[in-house]
Amino acid sequence: MWHLGEGRTLVATTDFFTPIVDDPYDYGAIAAANSLSDVYAMGAAPFMALTIAALPPDLDPEIMQEITRGLAEKAAEAGTVIAGGHTVQDKEPKIGLVVLGFAAEDELLRKDGLSIGDRLVLTKPLGFGVTTTALKQDQATPEDVDEVVGWMKQLNRGAAQQAVQFKLRAATDITGFSLLGHAWEMASGAGVGLRIRFSDVPFISCAKKYAEAWCFPGGAFDNRLYYGEHISLDPAISEEASLLLFDPQTSGGLLLGVPEEKLAGFLAAAQAAGQPAWVIGEVVPGDHIAIEP
């Protein structure tokens, strides 16, 4: 983040990863949406990007073209120009973007901006990691893959624009550290506690099925190991259900802190715009995250 003066801020982020789905076009589009998400999570509007790619020299040119087409078309949907980039050779494909965006200083969204009484609003469901792991294990059905890919390809632009419109102050995007990992970053940064109701947390339709089959990626267990000491779980919540809260997400939604007096208006505007939004909990005094049934 760089303050340009006259109330303007430049933000720069980068992200890239290996394939998580089989279709090369979808892989490129998800990689772009994921990279752009960090800028949206700060309340900024992306305007330029650079491609970062590591590709095997023997990769089928048609596959490479589809990956880059997915990347480019998703960036274009976001109104972002891909102005160049850099490619190296590697044994496994990796692709993503360096993204630049502008924001007004008084509209920036911050991880440490939560206040006691804020309601926690999530803008995409969970279950992406457990479902893509099921895909890697040849257990996922085509319908389930289509559902998770559809969510991962969605930009967080609408949610970010609405957050700026309502002058929110606290946000982050849910990615590899899971809902609880990123929620703890927000809570610890603001010096507050959180209360989350498991029954209010949205999941894609197949998430619990693959959780019961223990298709969790290794990152879910790493997240629980690292963040678990800050989490108190009601014993009525099963182990596999609780692990869904530690499930790493790719191109997940935004987690927003919405002041109670703005909540009704925010949800009404979201519904009118077709923007998904689920109230999953609230900010409370304390130093941990309590998960209720």
Which pair of structure tokens corresponds to residue 75?
């960036």
> If we measure between CA atoms, which residue out of 109, 113, 100, 106 comes closest to residue 7?
106
What's the chain's average pLDDT?
Answer: 97
Q: How far is CA 142 from the centre of its chain?
A: 23
Place of tokens 């990123």: 182
Q: CATH assignment of 2-107?
A: 3.30.1330.10
| Span 44-61, average pLDDT | 96
- 184-195 pLDDT per residue, tens: 999 999 999 999
Place of tokens 């490619």: 87
**What integer pLDDT is reported at residue 1 of this predicted model?**
86
- 27-50 pLDDT per residue, tens: 999 999 999 999 999 999 999 999
Specify the long-range contacts of residues 269-274, CB closer than 8 Å, at least 24 apart: 269/162, 269/165, 269/166, 270/162, 273/158, 273/162, 274/158
**What integer pLDDT is reported at residue 49 of this predicted model?**
98
**CA–CA dist 133, 17 (Å, integer):** 15
* Residue ranges covered by each domain of the chain: 2-107, 119-292
- CB count within 10 Å of CB 62 equals 9
- Percent of the chain at pLDDT > 90 equals 100
**What integer pLDDT is reported at residue 47 of this predicted model?**
97
**What integer pLDDT is reported at residue 78 of this predicted model?**
98
Which pair of structure tokens corresponds to residue 178?
């899971």
- 212-251 pLDDT per residue, tens: 999 999 999 999 999 999 999 999 999 999 999 999 999 9
Which pair of structure tokens corresponds to residue 282?
């609230």
- 154-205 pLDDT per residue, tens: 999 999 999 999 999 999 999 999 999 999 999 999 999 999 999 999 999 9
- 74-100 pLDDT per residue, tens: 999 999 999 999 999 999 999 999 999
Classify domain 119-292 at the CATH superfamily level.
PurM-like C-terminal domain (3.90.650.10)
**What integer pLDDT is reported at residue 14 of this predicted model?**
97
**CA–CA dist 188, 207 (Å, integer):** 28
- CB count within 10 Å of CB 74 equals 26
Query: Which one-letter DSSP state was computed for residue 124?
Result: S
